[in-house]
Structure 1
Amino acid sequence: MRQHADRFVTRVTARNRLPLDYSVASLRVVDFLVDGLRKGKADRERVAGTLFGLGAYVGEVLVRRAGAVWVDFDAEQRTYFGQPVGVRMPDGRVWNPLGKVVNRFEAGREESLQTFYLLLHGRARQEAS
């Protein structure tokens, strides 16, 4: 999934100066991008690849900033989440960043990805510098 995220970032930043640097603050940019897809009245199937790329990016932010690891979902989790992969947090909780991006697309602002991260349970504690 890291490679999916990296390829997505390379592709969308090739012509734009989007600050997709895997920071927590960059999740606000992801919210903005999803809002743009919504405003354009795109149907979900037409933007499925973009949503997948954004979901991979959000998951990779969790990996790099919160101590998560990518995991393949088992059959029950795939049914529940509707996705093949997710992330496991240091405390063992499993989250679905691909699905969170789809939720943002379908529901709008109340599904903020930046807020999702900030309220996320199970993150690794950041050491004070």
Structure 2
Amino acid sequence: MPEGGKPAAAAEMRKHADGFVARVASSRLPLDYTVASLRVVDFLIDGLRKGRANADPARLDVVLFGLGAYVGEVLARRAGAVWVDLDEAQRAYFGQWVGVRMPDGRVWSPLGKVVNRYEVGAEESLQTFYLTLPGRAAAPRPATERESRACAAR
């Protein structure tokens, strides 16, 4: 849950992700909304797991929420997902108020995936989650050299 304790809305999630990235920018973490940066998120959560005995639960919730917002925003920017407010049944299933809808219509909970990564460990890798996620938009393929020359000639 974000700082302040009220449930987040889908329309606010990009702002939450960007705010989290801004807060950790001084640590020089490469959180650049790429798929590769999800490996950094996995490492960050591993560190949180190691320090869990001394963790302040309220602070931990804020950090996990920020990481979940970031993961969801990677899905939005790289896989064509859209943030959505979850309906009552989805909230009960995921235990979250917001999620993402993939281009194929499937709904996922990046916030829940981050919590799972924290609670379960490495087998819940967020980078692997992205790479095996069904329903992603096809990545645009780079133009071939021949196609680039043809466009330039027009």
* TM-score, length basis structure 2: 0.81
Equivalenced residue count is 128
TM superposition shift of 1:43: 6.2
Q: Distance in 1 between matches of 2:41 and 2:69?
A: 11
Alignment of 1:85-100 (within 5 A): 85-100=98-113
Residues 1:2 and 2:14 are matched in the alignment: yes
Task: Show structure 1 runs of 5+ residues with no match.
Answer: none
Tell me the equivalent position of 1:30: 41
Tell me the equivalent position of 2:28: 17
Q: Distance in 2 between matches of 1:103 and 1:43?
A: 18
Query: What root-mean-square deviation, in Å, do the aligned CA atoms of Structure 1 and Structure 2 show?
Result: 1.0
TM superposition shift of 1:45: 4.4
TM superposition shift of 1:87: 0.1
AA aligned to 1:38 is R
Structure (1 or 2) with the larger CA radius of gyration: 2
AA aligned to 2:98 is V
Task: Show structure 2 runs of 5+ residues with no match.
Answer: 1-12, 143-154
More helix by percentage: 2
Where 2:84 maps in the other structure, the secondary structure is strand
Higher deviation after alignment, 41-50 or 95-104: 41-50
TM superposition shift of 1:44: 4.8
